Structure 1
Amino acid sequence: MASGSAAKESAIPAEELSQLTSDIIGALKTVYDPEIPADIYELGLIYKIDIDDDRKVDIEMTLTAPGCPVAGEMPGWVENAVGSVAGVQEVHVELVFDPPWTPERMSEEAQVAVGWF
């Protein structure tokens, strides 16, 4: 689902990076697709989270459908949510459609929320 910068060497101490990643994921879980009763993280709309040494965060995300009515707004919601996390200096959100989102990307929690279980 999401990946942090932990895979490469970071100037941010491991414990701080882990906490920052956790806080960012928590912030992402406050953003909901208005048409689906689940947050965007559990829906599998977040493809990548990168945190650089200056605590600038790059996020790649998608939408459930390219014609989503909130396509123009949702990246801003994500920027605002992640930008409110203590320690984050800057946020850049890129909307991508490759690979396309499919319902299989949803967590079990999201599947329960939409009534698939």
Structure 2
Amino acid sequence: MDDGSTIETPPVAPLSQAELDQLTDQLIEKLKTVYDPEIPVDIYELGLIYKVDISDEKDVAVEMTLTAPGCPVAGEMPGWVQDAIMEIPGIRSATVELVFDPPWDPSRMSDEAKLQLNMF
């Protein structure tokens, strides 16, 4: 019999700092497996990742950009990033949004990326 009451799910415990640190390390490791096909440097070192949010439910939301809005893999790269993130055990979901504000420029690259591309 339906008495009109709703079933509430118990709140999810917040991620501990240790869990968050471990997930962050795993995310960086996975993001470093995705490359812009035109540049021999991963998207993390290129500075294409602008923001990563991890919810207590282990939903991951990423804001990223491309080296240029007309990048030939613009339609595919978010899927590559999402697939890489979903390889992490325990991640419930991953969404990847392309943003172009602020525009990417070479100053966002890590020293490692600049070294790989002989930009020093």
Structure-2-length-normalised TM-score: 0.88
- 1:92 to 2:101 alignment: no
Aligned residues: 108
Structure 1 length normalisation: TM-score?
0.90
Question: 1:62-101 maps to which residues of 2 (within 5 A)?
Answer: 62-101=65-104
Q: CA deviation at 1:86?
A: 1.4
**In the alignment, is the contact (CA less than 8 A) between 1:44 and 1:107 conserved in 2?**
yes
Instruction: Kindly report structure 1 stretches of 4+ aligned residues shifted beyond 6 Å.
Output: none
1:116 deviates by 1.1
Structure 2, gaps ≥5 residues long: 1-12
Cα shift at 1:89: 0.8
Percent sequence identity over aligned pairs? 62
Q: Match for 1:32 among 32, 35, 40?
A: 35
Summarize deviations over 1:52-75 as a string: whole Å, max 9, x none. 010000000000000000000000
SS of equivalent residue, structure 2 residue 63:
strand
* Structure-2 separation of matches of 1:17 and 1:115: 34
Alpha-carbon displacement from aligned partner over 1:8-43 (angstroms, at most 9, x marks no partner): xx8011101100011011000000001111000000
Aligned match for 1:17, one of 13, 20, 28: 20
Partners of 1:63 and 1:97 within 8 A in 2: yes
1:20 and 1:87 in contact (8 A); partners too: no
Q: Distance in 1 between matches of 2:28 and 2:15?
A: 18
Matched letter for residue 35 of structure 2 = Y
Which structure has more relative contact order (CA 8 Å, sep 6+)? It is 1
Q: Secondary structure at the match of 1:41?
A: helix
* CA distance in structure 2 between the partners assigned to 1:88 and 1:14 by the alignment: 16
Larger Rg, first or second structure (1 or 2):
2
CA–CA separation in structure 2 for the residues paired with 1:83 and 1:97: 24
Unpaired runs of 5+ in structure 1? 1-9
